[in-house]
Structure 1
Amino acid sequence: MLIGDNYVFVELQKTGSTHIKQQLQALLGGHSEGKHNKPSDEQLGADRVIIGSVRDPWSWYLSLWSYGCQRRGSLYTRLVDAQNWQRSLPLLQARQRERGDLALEQLTPQRAHDVWYADTGSAQGFREWLRAVCLPEMRSTVQSGFEASGLGRWGCGLMSYRYLKLFTHGVTSLASEAESAEDLRQWTRRHFRPAHMIRLHALAEDLIATVQALGRPLSAEQCEALRQARPTNRSSRPHPFGHYYDAQALDEVARREWLLIERHGFERPSLG
């Protein structure tokens, strides 16, 4: 989180937030407090405007997986720890008995360590990981609080949970306040706190618009410098996007992250 005189930048993981923070700090000043945390009411007490960051969910999941391949991140830690699977394993076993659609030998913490996160060039590793992370039965293993949020009622995925947890007052009341997908849309509109969102695919233009909306005029040279600036802290992978995704994986993300896709106009990527 970056706090300035008249703004707070709240950063969603894997959305180019390091680069955004650097640019905002250079143009508007401010100081860092934590990283992927929410501002308190006290920090917002000076009528600061909230800025958030987001990216398309297909590249978000790929970036999150790549980060885990470096043996980093809370999701990696949870997925390779057998203790964190204790609530999910009975649910996975029950689903297999009822539906027979899971390969349980591919759903273990050892598999996460040995296959899912073993090689940033492995399409198989990514696709196995993605399916596991998107399984409803895995919510309690994937993220603390995810299952209790009630988002599973509308088939929402991990990115939607983190997005709503960070950019609203919280999701603890969501299950009791929304009964349908339309209720969820309206709840999100009512409780969403950022006034400006910086999208990774339009980072420079969104930054320019946000900074100027906060009362900081930018020269043509400054705008061009923002357009030419190279993002920092990118996840490294040896293959392009289409190597990792197939049509089934694209569909899975589209089903789980429909709310974000609708809200921000993200388009399904092409594999061609």
Structure 2
Amino acid sequence: MPYQPEYYYGQGKVFLAKRDAAGNPLVLRWLGDVDDLKVSLKTTPIKRKEAWSGEKTTSMSLIVDKDASVDMTLMDFSNENLNLALYGKSITSASGSVTGERLPTGLLVGDRVRLENPLVSSVVITDSATTPATVNPSKYEIDPKYGALTVKDATGLTQPLVAAYSHGAIDTVAMFAVIPDNVFLRYEGINLAQGGAPVIVELYCVKTEPLKELSLITDKQGDMKISAEVLGDTTKPADAEMGRFGRILQVSSA
């Protein structure tokens, strides 16, 4: 039978899943557009140099450590992916209203201060006089999307100023709010070099690291580079078929 090379040119979907107490994956969550996915393997040997030939050749090499890691580049900035990258926790706050929000004192013309919420409307500013007076809107400018106030005229104002307003619903991701559990990673790929044959890669126990860098001002499309350690899954027995780290399944395109 003539030689048939099996080349690989891949694309596909990357999923993560929580693990149950027995290490089995639960519901798979698609990470969206993943631009890059790499698995790296490394071993650590103990070596012995013989001491009788005069050449000190290596006479023994014994593998004592096995390490694996995975690196991927996420292009989808969903709240779920931000939680993964930032060890974050998502909080959704409903729309509502605020009264009595005190602004910093000593504001001068041109100063910009934040309100505690973005997406604001119906803003009313009062001063802190003995009998509080409503500040004429001509004395300040509101940036409703970002929830910020800029002073245009500070004459006659008794500070601190006090804000009341309505705001829209807000999605928040708090950084370093949780320590994530180990997860199961599954890659469902297609090998374009083999007629679109399915390729499945499963990594049983993955510990993600927090994002090293989040580029907020950049001249290219933003991404999130995630690294993770692939741990040996000790919930499973040593198995020549399944292994304790992961496996690759090449499925016939037919």
Band of TM-score, shorter chain? under 0.3
Which is higher, the Rg of structure 1 or of structure 2? Answer: 2
TM-score by length of 1: 0.22
Flag the structure with higher helix content. Answer: 1
